Amino acid sequence: MVEQINDAPNWVEAMIERESLPKPLRKGTVEEFAKKWGISDATYFYQKSKKENKKRIVEIWLNEAMDGGNVVLEKLKEKAQAGDNKSIEMYLKFVLELAENLDIKSDGKAIQQLSGFEYVKPTTNQTSDNTST
């Protein structure tokens, strides 16, 4: 019976888990992994190159990066709030890029336009064409 790594149900799951780690944290070589699971190196690389496996590797990596990134982002935010101009620039750039690239509303599907709503003019003296900022 082939030993399973980290309770992974099969070698593909173990490969995805391994590939989602930064290279210095990976245990052993591809050759050692392949031998342990009774597969060839070519099979390992073929599965690694498959679109669905690449997607899962990136998703795991991004989730891990976001977990650690929160600490880094919080430190950057603190420096920006303290008035460090470079930190302010970096923090605002991050927020703007995130807003442009993050699709949390439609899950990649086309957004349908709503109709039957009328624009209601604000009751204050503020306008959306404020060019003084």
Q: What is the mean pLDDT of residues 21-41?
A: 92
| Mean of all residue pLDDT scores within the chain | 77
Residue 5 has pLDDT above 50, yes or no: no
Contact indicator for 12, 2 with CB cutoff of 8 Å: no
Q: Binning pLDDT at 50, 70 and 90, where does residue 41 land?
A: very high
Percent of the chain surpassing pLDDT 90: 30
Contact indicator for 28, 34 with CB cutoff of 8 Å: no
69-93 pLDDT per residue, tens: 777 778 888 888 899 898 888 888 8
Residue 63 has pLDDT above 90, yes or no: no
